[in-house]
Structure formats: C-alpha cells, structure tokens
Structure 1
Amino acid sequence: MYRCALSLALAASCVVAQAQTHRFFPATALRGELVVTQFPDVQLNGQPARLAPGARVKNEDNLWVPPAGLTGQKLLVHYTVESSGLIMDVWVLNAAERENKLWPRTPAESASWQFNPGNQTWSKP
C-alpha cells in the first residue's frame, strides 16, 4: 500500500513538472498576443476578436482559468479558432514554450511550414 501511494505521488509530481515545461499543442494552434478587454471580447494581435461560447483558457501551469480574470493582461498565447472564426482554445505560454520562437502566427504560415508533433517544433521549407 505504501509503495503504491509513493508511486502515485511520484507520478503526479512528474506530470506537474512536465506541464510546467512542455505541453502538446495541435498543429492548428497559432501564436499571438491576447488581451481580454471585456469578456468575451478580446484583442488578438491588436485586432478585435471574440472568444467562443465554451472557450477554454489554460494558464502557464495548464490549469483552466476564467477568461474574465485575465482582463487587461497582455499575454503571449497559442490559440485555435473554430469554423465560425471565434477563438476556442487558448494556452498562455510558459517560459519554456516562449523559447520556441518559430511558431506560425497566421493560417498561411501554418499551411506552408512543416510541423513535428513529437517535439512540438515548426520548420520553414
């Protein structure tokens, strides 16, 4: 019993450590600068945009946060857009993720670059 509890605690600490340094993003995720102005309205890369109903925002530790709690903060994020053009998923980048400088900012860049999902890197052709 004690060995199982110790193993579970060790596994949980490894998951937390990984979440703080490296997350897996979909190939459709774009990078941008997000400012929540008045929920659900946001500024994305200086342009007005809107969060979708049910949008999910995760902070640097991969924990869900209410978007309204981020009002006024300028955040470097990865985000996905649903078919209607509303922002659906938002991940606030941690320090390790910000170090990965090459990430598409537009759908055109995403379509022309190569994505390696295993190590979460992009390369230009």
Structure 2
Amino acid sequence: MDKRANPAPGFQRNPDKVITIEPYRGTVTVSAGDTVIARSTRARLLSEPPYPAVFYIPFADIDFGKLARTEHSTHCPYKGDATYWSVLSAGETGKNAMWAYEQPFDEMTEIRDHGAFYASKVTVEAKPG
C-alpha cells in the first residue's frame, strides 16, 4: 500500500493493513461452464490479508460482450468504489460476479481498468508461465 504523506481524499490509512499488487507470471483464464469470459497473461495478483488473493485482469483481456453491468456497488476504504457486472451465461449464479475499481484511490491505480471475479461464481484458473 502506498505510504504517501498526503493520501487521496477518502483513502483510509491503516499501518496494519498491507495490500500488495504484483504481476502474475502466467495465464489466468475465467470461464462459466464452457464459456471463456477472460484470458490474460497480464493479470495482477492483489493480496489483502486475511482475504484470499485475487487476480485483477486488464479490461482489454475481458470479453465484455459476455457481461452485463449492474447497479450494484460497494465501497472499500483502501481501494475506492467498486462497480459490478454479471456473467450472462452463468444465470443467477453469475450475478455480480465481476467487480472493478474504475476510479480507484491514487494509492491503488495499478488496478484501474482491471476486473476481478468471484471464484465462487465462475471458474478462475491460473497456470504459471
């Protein structure tokens, strides 16, 4: 997490909260059944203990034709406001399956224009490169 003296407005500083973002060396594929929604060799791995690590995939590597934006949103005091998309082919299970921080806090710009998926709603497969 960025340690700037002047954090972005709304950004919550917490010295006990360590968030790391690093490039994933390999291929990440997201699918619902036989339908591939995203495939990337440019994913970033975000670690935010105690939560499981999450892959953030560049928008350019996501097939938005297989998604529908929803009205759902959430707020994270460390990343900003998240918007959500549903995976069309997954039906009710795919509701709000992908989220993104389209305008994250300055401290989290590495995940701007990247989407993350709930592994409980779709299949997220990572193969080291």
Which protein is richer in helix relative to its size?
1
TM-score by length of 2: 0.29
TM-score by length of 1: 0.29
Larger Rg: 1
